[in-house]
Amino acid sequence: WERTEEVEKRLAFSLEVPKIEDLVRRHEPEWLVVQSGLDLYSTLRSPTQPREVNIGWIQELLQAFLQVAAEAELRVFWIGPPDLHEKRVSEELQAELEEILREEVGRYGGTFFSSRAVTEWSVPYPSHSDGMQYGLVEGRQWAEEVVPVFFQTVAEAPTPVSPPAEMN
């Protein structure tokens, strides 16, 4: 899904995921707003590698993403995943991933917003939900918490992200 002032594009199926480098080059934004993280839970809890390897892989992925933002001199507002049903993803795992996201975004000088702090899973699992996807009512409540914080962040005019000193 891609939305700009000129186009709103929704693909039912795509063989290619849009790359951040291409999107930044094409649209030349000032801000990069990311709401991401759900797919990283599977990496974090993967039993095929030692835990340190899984954490390192996530950190490297985030660093590569944030490096693109730094090179384009973008301001970053990263929204962490909302609260999930604890039988789907444990509270400990949710807290661990949020801390990884918060730390990496912070190291680059971006703004991290914890949407877990403003959400609470309430739909019965597994009878009425997958434990991860919010419905329209819950999604609207989530947005009503996130959007004012984003606009406040924009009003504060933070500087663009940059690589941490230890990476220069």
The pTM for the full model equals 0.85
* Rg from Cα positions in the chain: 17
Q: Can you give the pLDDT at residue 13?
A: 60
Q: Can you give the pLDDT at residue 36?
A: 79
Summarised one tens digit per residue, pLDDT across range 107-120 is: 999 999 999 999 88
Instruction: Work out the percent of the chain whose per-residue pLDDT is above 70.
Output: 93
Q: What angle do CA 117, 61, 75 make, to 5 degrees?
A: 60
Ordered DSSP codes for 26-62: HH--SEEEEE--TTHHHHHT-TTS-HHHHHHHHHHHH
- Which distant-in-sequence residues (6+ apart) come within 8 Å of 37 by Cβ? 80, 81, 97, 98, 101
Token pair, residue 103, equals 């730390």
Mean pLDDT of 156-167: 89
10 — pLDDT class (breaks 50, 70, 90):
confident
Strand boundaries in the chain, DSSP class E: 2-3, 8-9, 31-35, 75-79, 111-113
**pLDDT at 17 > cutoff 80:** no
Q: Can you give the pLDDT at residue 1?
A: 63
Q: Can you give the pLDDT at residue 74?
A: 97
Mean pLDDT over each residue of the chain, to the nearest integer: 89
**pLDDT at 150 > cutoff 70:** yes
Summarised one tens digit per residue, pLDDT across range 24-80 is: 999 999 999 999 767 888 888 888 889 899 999 999 999 999 999 999 999 999 999
15 — pLDDT class (breaks 50, 70, 90):
low
- Report the alpha-carbon distance of residue 126 to residue 139 in Å, rounded: 19
- Report the alpha-carbon distance of residue 63 to residue 68 in Å, rounded: 9
